[in-house]
Chains A and B, each alone.
Chain A
């Protein structure tokens, strides 16, 4: 019985991760602007992988393999947001239609709420 509880818990985690990555893929193709798409893609890099790997850890139980999976989670949560941040930084520097797509600190709020 307890095996089934553990298994279903892990299955819920893994399926949740798959759903999140599905949403991320959907968002990646739905949005038009690079920063919006990056937001969707970064969700897949962090939350989806976290849920899937947590599910695998729950299935595997406490062992060295689980520790390694946990280290993978830590590494990804360190590395992925930083790379997303750098990409977004580059986009802000380079993009020519930034003003059309998002609200800059200098702009007034009235213009963006109308559009």
Chain B
């Protein structure tokens, strides 16, 4: 008969046997609460440290400069610096204002801006491009190649930012997943009223670009701002329901490719609205001015995508 140890009842073996027989469930070992307590303390300490790290003591940036000036005896230099700054500012203002007197009058004929080029644009622009807003005709028809390059600049800038942000592997997104939902109620209420109006106005500016001040770039900027407002107030998940990365790729690349096609056609037919088969229509109507209206819409989509992409890329690291 083997000797039973006095503490057998509480030993692991006895408890295990009882557990097998179904008399007792294995409970947490006694040191677990202690361990948990220690963990909690460590975590609280970590949090305190992080909090301290996150909100550094805000220091007046001028404090160092003031102390330095006081103790190194160069107080007079600061006085001189202030006086000289004001004097220099006044002198530059005086020179500039004096020079205004020699500038040609606003819209006068002797102005070097008014050469035969702008005269030609003003006199023949409406006839040749079919627009009533000469500026749009200028930047999309006469200088279409330039605008084409600008649109590519937007595209390449977004691509470069995406490459850089993908290279820097973010361990966690800037905006946590649960954090962004349920935005501020005031913002949400106002955004519900304003976002449709902003989109409508952006589309109006876009489509009306050849008739009134506006055009692709400004209309696209308005629409991009509307998208940003929407995603800022309702969160990225609800924005992704109608504008996720797939749709973004299709819209952005598709509009640039279509734009390229149109501008290549325009260049092949002599970079002039006259030789193109597409009718110019009657100036002043929405459906007129040949290629300018579709190009405006494509440029606007490109700009809107770029604006939203920059916002989304910098805020959460992806579109």
Which of A78, A96, A97 is in CB contact (< 8 Å) with B193?
A78
Instruction: State A79–B229 Cα separation when bound (angstroms).
Output: 11
Q: Which residue of B lies closest to A97 (CB)?
A: B58
Instruction: State A78–B186 Cα separation when bound (angstroms).
Output: 11
CB-CB under 8 A from B190, the residues of chain A are 78-79, 82
In the complex, A85 has a CB within 8 A of chain B: yes
Query: Would you call B184 and A79 a contact (CB within 8 A)?
Result: no
Per-residue interface assignment for chain A, residues 83 to 115, with 1 indicating a CB less than 8 Å from any chain B CB and 0 otherwise: 001100100001011000000000000000000
Total interface residues on B, CB under 8 Å, equals: 9
Query: Would you call A85 and B193 a contact (CB within 8 A)?
Result: no
Query: Would you call B58 and A79 a contact (CB within 8 A)?
Result: no
Query: Would you call B57 and A82 a contact (CB within 8 A)?
Result: no
Which of B55, B58, B187 is in CB contact (< 8 Å) with A82?
B187
Which of A86, A89, A96 is in CB contact (< 8 Å) with B55?
A96
Query: Would you call B194 and A78 a contact (CB within 8 A)?
Result: yes
Task: With A78-B193, A79-B194 as known contacts, state yes or no: A85 contacts B55, CB within 8 Å.
Answer: no
Which of B57, B184, B186 is in CB contact (< 8 Å) with A96?
B57
Min CB distance B315 to A, Å, is 14
Interface residues on A, range: 10 to 19
Query: Would you call B194 and A86 a contact (CB within 8 A)?
Result: no
Per-residue interface assignment for chain A, residues 57 to 90, with 1 indicating a CB less than 8 Å from any chain B CB and 0 otherwise: 0000000000000000001001100100110010
Interface residues of B in 88-108 (CB under 8 A from A): none
CB-CB under 8 A from A82, the residues of chain B are 186-187, 190
Which of A86, A94, A97 is in CB contact (< 8 Å) with B184?
A86
Interface of B is mostly: helix
Task: With A78-B193, A78-B194, A79-B194 as known contacts, state yes or no: A86 contacts B187, CB within 8 Å.
Answer: yes
Instruction: State A24–B276 Cα separation when bound (angstroms).
Output: 56
CB-CB under 8 A from B58, the residues of chain A are 96-97
Min CB distance B51 to A, Å, is 10
CB-CB under 8 A from B57, the residues of chain A are 96
Query: Would you call A89 and B194 a contact (CB within 8 A)?
Result: no
Instruction: State A113–B313 Cα separation when bound (angstroms).
Output: 47
Instruction: State A85–B189 Cα separation when bound (angstroms).
Output: 13
Interface residues of B in 180-229 (CB under 8 A from A): 184, 186-187, 190, 193-194
Instruction: State A20–B28 Cα separation when bound (angstroms).
Output: 70
Query: Would you call B194 and A85 a contact (CB within 8 A)?
Result: no
Min CB distance B254 to A, Å, is 32
CB-CB under 8 A from B186, the residues of chain A are 82, 85
CB-CB under 8 A from B193, the residues of chain A are 78
Q: Which residue of A lies closest to B55 (CB)?
A: A96
CB-CB under 8 A from A97, the residues of chain B are 58
Per-residue interface assignment for chain A, residues 28 to 41, with 1 indicating a CB less than 8 Å from any chain B CB and 0 otherwise: 00000000000000
Instruction: State A86–B185 Cα separation when bound (angstroms).
Output: 11
CB-CB under 8 A from A89, the residues of chain B are 184
Instruction: State A85–B193 Cα separation when bound (angstroms).
Output: 17
Instruction: State A101–B190 Cα separation when bound (angstroms).
Output: 30
Q: Which residues of A contact B (CB under 8 A)?
A: 75, 78-79, 82, 85-86, 89, 94, 96-97
Q: Enumerate 19 A-B pairs (CB-CB under 8 Å) in ascending A order.
A: A75-B194, A78-B190, A78-B193, A78-B194, A79-B194, A82-B186, A82-B187, A82-B190, A85-B184, A85-B186, A85-B187, A86-B184, A86-B187, A89-B184, A94-B55, A96-B55, A96-B57, A96-B58, A97-B58
Q: Which 8 A-B pairs have the closest CB atoms?
A: A82-B190, A96-B55, A85-B186, A78-B190, A82-B186, A82-B187, A78-B194, A86-B187
